[in-house]
Homo-oligomer: A and B are copies of this chain.
Amino acid sequence: MGLGGTTLQTLKLATIPSPSSFRSVFKPSSRTFLYRNSHRQRPQFPLFSVRGFSASAVQATVTTAPKTTSPDEKGVKPQWKAAIDFKWIRDNKDTVASNIKKRNSNANLELVLELYNKMLNLQKLIVTHRKQEVERLRGERNAVANKMKGKLESAERQKLIEEGKDLKEGLLTLEEDLLKLIDELQQEAQCIPNMTHPDVPIGGEDSSTIRKTVGSPREFKFPVKDHLQLGKDLDLFDFDAASEVSGSKFYYLKNEAVMLEMGLINWTLLEVMKWGFTPLTTPEIVRSSVVEKCGFQPRGTNTQVYSIEGSDQCLIGTAEIPVGGIHMDSILSASLLPLKYVAVSHCFRTEAGAAGTATRGLYRVHQFSKLEMFILCQPEESDFYHEELIKIEEDLFSSLGLHYKTLDMASGDLGAPAYRKFDIEAWMPGLARFGEISSASNCTDYQSRRLGIRYRSSEPASTNPKKGKSNLSPPQFVHTLNATACAVPRMIVCLLENNQQEDGSVVIPEPLRPFMGGLELIQPKSR
């Protein structure tokens, strides 16, 4: 069921149907609202993609510190480590610095490099020290042992034991210093955003370029209603009851809106499966660490993430998180790649700070259903699959008869994980503007270096049988991509507003009808 070789261009963007400004066709400042935002707190580090570093070499630098040494330190230290290639950063300092600037990130490259050098020095010092201490301890212990055989006096024996302890603790202190340094380095380095595709337009949100436009705005001969009015007239939502039961920005879908949701999910899933994607449902409660490893910020005052009380778990803001986690900490066989998934899930977002008319009705809500595509592939293929993802999105939205445009998002508007991001914005006549309905991102190895997802090609082994021992090629980090196939509430906004008739009814797009009991029209209730 593959697509064949249909190639468009290559895109990559953050999965999340994020805010679109009410005034501008492009994005508001809070655009990349869920991802660790480079402008804000601590985004995470990515590596320039196509290079394919030896992961073992990279990790060796970090894992020197003995894990047993970490005592009762608490504080802000990370629970996990991203496999960041510090050596590459140091060797490509200028490129990384200009990328940070391009991305409008506040990552502190100088500090990262300084900490990295300190760490290298401390590691050397420890290695030397450890050798010496081990020698010295061995000698002393022998001495003590000999003396003990000669029935040492209890006080003197105690003194020697104390001396040995002190020496051991001296080394422990150095190793603790190293651990702290590594944590600090991780924290700072994780703020560094992914590198940027050379074709990405440089600048703020206004610099995003239009890549494609499909259709044109429908002309109405009658006064157009927005989706809220249509929903009210057709008895499709209940925001008031939800506000009492749950809080503002929650909603019940009612009547045909429920069928519309079902139709959208069912049809989209079957369509995307035709492209060779494996369907999934996912856990919607995940460990906070997985959220972080995908490049999101689960804690803090401005977080978009709901946390579960009394646990280290949170609710997912997008299925990208549990799908990204499926192959966490594993080495895949290259023959399995690409892995293409399409996941159905509910998504939960606090939407802290979001307010105003741009967020009315179903446009921005705390909970919604979404189908998300996710691909894991070899580095050299991620541009190709980014193209495939945007093609699938465009095909889906065209089949539903929408008028939309595809945008190549500007560097300043990318979340930290994205190497490139394509958004699709559809015309919403009731809101009288374009609104984001999907987002497709190529995250290259930004997420896989945090999630620990690598692959091993077996080719060198078979073609180089002479090399004997090193039969296996070193594992490399996969590239990950994610893209919205259907964010249900925004699609409902689009379909209601675009398909409304003068008599107040709404036409159901033909592809969805078989999944809605053959329903063709949403008509005003005759009460």
Binding site for B on A (CB under 8 A): 238, 241-242, 244-247, 250-255, 257-259, 261-262, 265-266, 269-270, 273, 278-287, 290, 306-310, 313, 315, 322, 325-329, 344, 346, 348, 366-367, 369, 514-515, 517
Contacts and interface: CB of A to CB of B under 8 A. Distances in A.
B241 A254 contact: no
B279 A255 contact: yes
Report copies per complex: 2
A313 B242 CA distance: 13
A170 to B, nearest CB: 38
A40 to B, nearest CB: 19
A346 B315 CA distance: 13
A246 B308 contact: no
Contacts of A280: 252-254, 258
A241 B254 CA distance: 35
Contact of A515 (B251, B257, B266): B266
B515 A245 contact: no
B515 A322 contact: no
Contact of A252 (B253, B283, B346): B283
A517 B273 CA distance: 10
Please report whether the interface of chain A is mostly helix, strand, loop or mixed according to DSSP: mixed
A346 B348 contact: no
B238 A326 contact: yes
Contacts of A290: 245-246
Contacts of A281: 252-253, 257-258, 261, 369
Contacts of A250: 283, 285
Contacts of A344: 258, 262
B322 A285 contact: no
A517 B270 contact: yes
A345 to B, nearest CB: 9
A83 B261 CA distance: 38
A283 B515 contact: no
- 10 closest residue pairs by CB, A with B: A245-B325, A258-B279, A307-B309, A246-B283, A250-B283, A253-B281, A309-B309, A241-B326, A246-B286, A270-B517
A322 to B, nearest CB: 6
Contacts of A279: 254-255, 258-259
A517 B315 CA distance: 31
Nearest to A256: B279
30 contacts: A238-B326, A242-B283, A244-B328, A244-B329, A245-B290, A245-B322, A245-B325, A246-B285, A246-B290, A246-B313, A246-B322, A247-B285, A247-B287, A252-B280, A258-B279, A259-B269, A259-B279, A262-B265, A262-B266, A262-B269, A266-B515, A273-B517, A283-B366, A284-B348, A285-B306, A285-B348, A285-B367, A308-B309, A315-B315, A515-B515
